[in-house]
């Protein structure tokens, strides 16, 4: 089969698209059955460092399981992927905050209908404590420098779903999610 590099543009249409990812002693083969990658969403016009792929954000929202009418907060919203993906749940009130005004502007740009409430706020000093669910990918000093520490105990949420790097343990149930052979660890904390 011919190799079509993504760096030189899109491969020709009507082709089976597959990817092989090798990490240490493990190989993952992924086959795309849709016309375009699942992580490409119409709403996502811009991104920022540390943004999660939409399928991973959707998985986090599913694990958070907000009920209709629930308030879902992402206190480290980045480009807004998690709050926007939460809108797939009927009547969820989604709120996205970030400490960086430029990042919040990117999130607003990804939500042109204005269905999510966006605000500039420090996750270490939450402006809103009464929420039903928190779903977030905190920076953890990896792709984005941490300015404050997200402390889930400062919120009244019944469920907290966080994307954690290896080695960070806040307790709770840890679940593995694989995207192209990489393994982000989702931790679910319930009260």
User: CA-CA distance, 184 to 179, in Å (whole number)?
Assistant: 8
Pairing, β 173-176 against β 133-136: unpaired
User: Model-level pTM?
Assistant: 0.75
Q: Does the pLDDT value for residue 78 go beyond 70?
A: yes
Tally of domains within the chain: 1
| Mean pLDDT value of segment 54-75 | 92
**Is residue 46 one of the residues assigned to a domain?**
no
According to the model, what pLDDT value does residue 101 have?
A: 96
What is the DSSP-derived secondary structure letter of residue 36?
A: S
According to the model, what pLDDT value does residue 27 have?
A: 83
Question: Which tens digits make up the pLDDT trace of 18-39?
Answer: 778 787 888 878 777 766 666 6
Write out the two tokens for 10: 């899109």
Give the domain extent around 134: 54-190
Question: Which tens digits make up the pLDDT trace of 45-62?
Answer: 888 888 888 988 999 999
**Is residue 43 one of the residues assigned to a domain?**
no
| Mean pLDDT value of segment 97-120 | 95
Neighbours of 54 (CB within 10 A): 19
**Is residue 3 one of the residues assigned to a domain?**
no
CATH number of the domain enclosing 150: 3.40.50.150
């Amino acid at each position: 089969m011919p190799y079509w590099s993504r760096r030189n543009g899109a491969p020709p249409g009507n082709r089976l698209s597959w990817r092989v990812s090798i990490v240490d002693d493990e190989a993952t083969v992924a086959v795309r059955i849709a016309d375009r990658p699942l992580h490409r969403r119409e709403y996502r016009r811009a991104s920022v460092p540390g943004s999660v792929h939409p399928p991973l954000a959707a998985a986090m929202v599913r694990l958070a399981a907000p009920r209709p009418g629930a308030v879902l907060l992402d206190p480290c919203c980045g480009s807004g992927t998690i709050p926007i993906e939460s809108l797939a749940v009927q009547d969820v009130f989604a709120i996205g905050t970030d400490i960086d005004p430029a990042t919040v502007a990117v999130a607003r740009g990804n939500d042109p209908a204005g269905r999510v409430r966006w605000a500039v706020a420090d996750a270490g000093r939450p402006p809103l404590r009464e929420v039903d669910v928190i779903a977030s990918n905190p920076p953890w000093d990896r792709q984005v420098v941490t300015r404050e520490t997200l402390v889930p105990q400062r919120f009244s949420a019944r469920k907290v779903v966080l994307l954690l790097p290896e080695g960070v343990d806040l307790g709770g149930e840890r679940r593995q999610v694989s995207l192209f052979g990489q393994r982000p660890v989702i931790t679910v904390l319930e009260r």
